[in-house]
Amino acid sequence: MTLIVAVATGNFAVHASDRYVSVQKTPRNPSGDWDVNANKTVVVIGSDCWVVLGYTGLAYLDGKPTDQVIAEAISGYDDLSGGAAFMPWFEERYPHYREIRDRVERRIADAYTRLPTGVAMKYATRVLASGVQRKDGMSRGVMFRITVQGSGSKAEELASSLLHNQFHIDAVGMVNQQVIDRAKHRIETKQAVTAEDIRDIAMDAVIETSGMTDYVGDDAMGVILSNGEQTVGTHFRRSNVQNQEELFRRMKEHEDTFMYSGVTVTPYVLTHGMIYGPSAGTPGGWVSDSGLKFNFTGFDDPAKVEGKPVKILFAGQPRKPKP
């Protein structure tokens, strides 16, 4: 299970999630922990929109991480396995907003046909997405939810045309409605609210919920999509250094350098010409050849690590296989 919190406005979109995957508890694994560093987030720049998606439910479909299945559905790749940090993505026409939604719904529904009937009926997988769509010469906030369970699937538009002074907040997964209502109230009552304010409020809701249930992780990933500023911003909030050490152990190829640097993690980002896979690296950012700006944050200053040189690192994050 997990928690996804999404906020759409007329100017930007915000998304927050934990990064935890659990399995059935057993005497040998009483905590049920499987992966505390699992990516749940996919960002896509479409032909007419910027959208960020996250999922809750089954963490693996067709033997692959579910976020990878979502990225494959959108990009048209058959298999994005391998942990690469960069992959080319060139399309004659990149998918538009409704096409992104429909591709994801069809792909997850198709994967459910190969699940044991009992598993497919018992467990739902939900995708919650927020974004900004360019329509009729204006930018408008949008949000959709996809639910797949058993042999059925449903896609719902939750907000289809938000203007610059409007917002919509929603959540899927281990939702505590009082927590979400408090987050909504904070947004409504905060003076001169910024995208960073809303991102932090959404991430606070994830962390608050993690203190109430074992099925929401303690680390949080936040995303801001700002079409007007041409910026994709992600922010990683780490609660426990041991979670980071586990990631270091999995990145054996880069262990000697990564262990000395403050490392932030990033989700899938599908842009025109390039797919950035889930990765880990030193916080920072850059401007792509197309003018798209990336801003990956998560630590105040990695250079404060005593006695060790700090290098600029960006490498694909190894994915933990299906249990």
Q: What is the mean pLDDT of each run of 10 residues along the chain (323 residues)?
A: 94 96 88 91 97 98 98 97 90 96 99 98 98 88 98 95 89 98 95 91 97 94 93 89 69 58 83 92 80 82 50 77 90
Contact 221, 282 (CB under 8 A): no
Task: Identify the H or E element spanning 266.
Answer: strand 264-266
Cα(99)–Cα(34) distance, rounded to whole angstroms? 33
Q: Is the pTM of this model over 0.85?
A: yes
- Spatial strand order in the sheet of 3-9: 167-173, 3-9, 12-18, 220-226, 231-237, 293-297, 284-287
SS3 call for 307:
coil
Name the CATH superfamily, with its identifier, for domain 3-314: Aminohydrolase, N-terminal nucleophile (Ntn) domain (3.60.20.10)
pLDDT at 303: 47
pLDDT at 252: 60
pLDDT at 262: 62
Q: Give the residue among 144, 189, 185 at the shortest CA–CA distance from 162.
A: 144
Cα(41)–Cα(93) distance, rounded to whole angstroms? 23
164 CB neighbour count, 10 Å cutoff = 14
Cα(303)–Cα(323) distance, rounded to whole angstroms? 37
Backbone φ and ψ for 250, nearest 5 degrees, come out as -75, -20
Cα(292)–Cα(230) distance, rounded to whole angstroms? 5
Cα(194)–Cα(186) distance, rounded to whole angstroms? 12
